[in-house]
A and B are shown apart, each in its own frame.
Chain A
């Protein structure tokens, strides 16, 4: 059974810092890995999706990498802003299932 762990669980940083959020998984037979953000009281917003055959994806200040051999993905946020404050979750379908397993998320606060 796939297990997904996100570290750290919470993070508070001053504006402008570069950040790395981690997602680790136990079963490397994945279809893809998706990073989401969730604002309080809202649903999940898709940020980046990395296919199994890819190593990384970039969108603006966000860069996500995937290393299946080590069972890890990282989300890099450059020059963080207060508007980046949210919970970030990773999710991945694996083991022949279409159903993604979600991590518990990293709660990020970027203060001015």
Chain B
């Protein structure tokens, strides 16, 4: 597809379970970003990839959160032992390498922890 694709669009799971969220960036975009948007809050930066490496992981809230990117394309965000406070919309964006290029967002994954 032409845009950033995220799956699943919705995920409901029980507290304590692990979840995996997927992001397919726009073809050719080397930069990839994960954000979290909680109800009534702004966008919270989680992690940034340039190619397959993550030069900035400063936003990951705890060691339960991890992310990887393979082949310079698809990225997965994994949350282990989910907690209720992890409930949020997780958004992925991609852009060309240059920081002057615009970010393009997917529609997000709405995660609900019961």
Asked if A34 CB lies within 8 Å of chain B CBs, one says yes
Q: In the complex, are the beta carbons of A89 and B43 less than 8 A apart?
A: yes
Which of B14-22, B65-73, B79-87, B98-106 is the interface stretch?
B98-106
Q: In the complex, are the beta carbons of B99 and A104 less than 8 A apart?
A: no
DSSP majority for the B interface? Answer: strand
Asked if B111 CB lies within 8 Å of chain A CBs, one says no
Q: In the complex, are the beta carbons of A46 and B108 less than 8 A apart?
A: no
**How many angstroms between the C-alpha atoms of A91 and B50 in the bound complex?**
19
Q: In the complex, are the beta carbons of B99 and A98 less than 8 A apart?
A: yes
Which of A11-19, A37-45, A65-73 is the interface stretch?
A37-45
How many A-B residue pairs lie within 8 Å, measured between CB atoms? 53
Number of interface residues of A (CB under 8 A): 24
Contact of B107 among A42, A102, A104 (CB under 8 A): A42
Nearest chain A residue, comparing its CB with the CB of B97: A98
Known: A99-B33, A99-B48. A43 touches B91 (CB 8 A): yes
- A-B CB contact pairs (8 Å), 14 listed: A31-B100, A34-B103, A42-B108, A43-B105, A43-B107, A43-B108, A44-B91, A49-B102, A89-B43, A98-B31, A98-B48, A98-B99, A99-B33, A102-B43
Give residues in A with beta carbon < 8 Å to B: 31-32, 34, 36, 41-46, 49, 51-52, 89, 91, 93, 97-100, 102-105
